Amino acid sequence: MRLDIVPIVEETHRELVEGRIVVVIDVLRASSTIVTALASGFASVIPVDSAERAWQLRSPATVLAGERFCEKIPHFDCNNSPTELLARSDRGKQLVLTTTNGTRAIEQARLAHAVLIGCFLNASATIRHALSYQRDITLLCAGTRAQFALEDGLAAGCMTDRAKQLLPQLSVCDFAEAMSASYLYERERLRERLEQTTTGRRLLQHGFTADLDYCSQLDRVDLVPLVKETSILPHLVS
Ligand SMILES: O=C(O)[C@H](CS(=O)(=O)O)OP(=O)(O)O
């Protein structure tokens, strides 16, 4: 079995997706928002590529979430913000989500055998579940606005490190080795590191300090979101 990391969504090649287990990683903030929504009682998340499409899905059973340039989309219920979702009570509803990078990365993974959503919040559960398929794995880092995002690389490095502990014979690409080493170097100061990244600085400028605190927590939940056709559903890993 082999594990590769794709550093940004723009570098997704068909051979790194088709038939593989793909983990979409967008720590700040789409993956963290999806994990939090499903862990706090939403029945499903519907990722969509535009605000217009999200608006078409508006109903009493849906909550519309999304951002453009970090700001909440006008007339939507909430931002792409995990802490904003935590403060709501929407059990059983569907979250319709559109974001700058994360929802686009999910679309790029559609030829995979299975698509999982991962971040620091569910890192160990995600890699355990990915390994259980006994297929090659691709950790697809969403990046930010066509550039590599260090927070995604560090989460992918964390998952690589966990995967090598669980399956020592796993073959990993050189970039995964580098990200695993970076994660081991930074793991005691993830929160500080996150606020120095490009997206972290941008979120701080927009006042989302609570999201940075929250998204830097490791293994808060054992829940792995799984993409099933047009929806994302929760899967509990034991
Ligand atoms: O809302 C976010 O955190 C980001 C905004 S940015 O474009 O990376 O600044 O979107 P996401 O799709 O969650 O990366």
Strand pairing report for 21-25 and 137-141: parallel
Closest by Cα among 99, 116, 113, 133 to 29: 99
pLDDT digits (tens, 9 = 90+) for 158-181: 999 999 999 999 999 999 999 999
What is the DSSP secondary structure assignment for residue 189, as one 8-state letter?
Answer: G
Tell me the mean pLDDT in the region 175-202: 97
**Whether the predicted pLDDT of 133 surpasses 90:** yes
**Whether the predicted pLDDT of 98 surpasses 90:** yes
Residue % of the chain over a pLDDT of 90: 98
SS (H, E, C) 55-122: HHCCCCCEEEEEEECCEECCCCCECCCHHHHHCCCCCCCEEEEECCCHHHHHHHCCCCCEEEEECHHH
pLDDT digits (tens, 9 = 90+) for 26-69: 999 999 999 999 999 999 999 999 999 999 999 999 999 999 98
- What CA–CA distances, in Å, run from 45 to 9, 65, 86, 233? 20, 10, 15, 7
Q: Whole-number mean pLDDT of the chain?
A: 97
**Whether the predicted pLDDT of 119 surpasses 90:** yes
pLDDT digits (tens, 9 = 90+) for 23-35: 999 999 999 999 9
What pTM was computed for the model? 0.97
Q: Is the Cβ atom of 80 under 6 angstroms away from ligand 1?
A: yes
Tell me the mean pLDDT in the region 9-20: 96
Q: Please report the pLDDT score of residue 97 as a whole number.
A: 98
Q: Is the Cβ atom of 206 under 6 angstroms away from ligand 1?
A: no
Q: Is the Cβ atom of 117 under 6 angstroms away from ligand 1?
A: no
Amino acid letter, residue 167: L
pLDDT digits (tens, 9 = 90+) for 99-114: 999 999 999 999 999 9
Q: Please report the pLDDT score of residue 238 as a whole number.
A: 80
Tell me the mean pLDDT in the region 67-76: 95
ipTM of the complex: 0.91
Across the strands, what pairs with 46?
A: 96
Alpha carbon distance 174, 192 (integer Å): 26
- Residue located nearest, by CA, to atom 7 of ligand 1: 100
Tell me the mean pLDDT in the region 197-211: 97
- Residue located nearest, by CA, to atom 3 of ligand 1: 29
Residue % of the chain over a pLDDT of 70: 100
Tell me the mean pLDDT in the region 194-218: 97
Alpha carbon distance 152, 158 (integer Å): 10
**Whether the predicted pLDDT of 18 surpasses 90:** yes
| 104 Cα–ligand 1 center, Å | 11
Q: Please report the pLDDT score of residue 46 as a whole number.
A: 98
Q: Is the Cβ atom of 79 under 6 angstroms away from ligand 1?
A: no
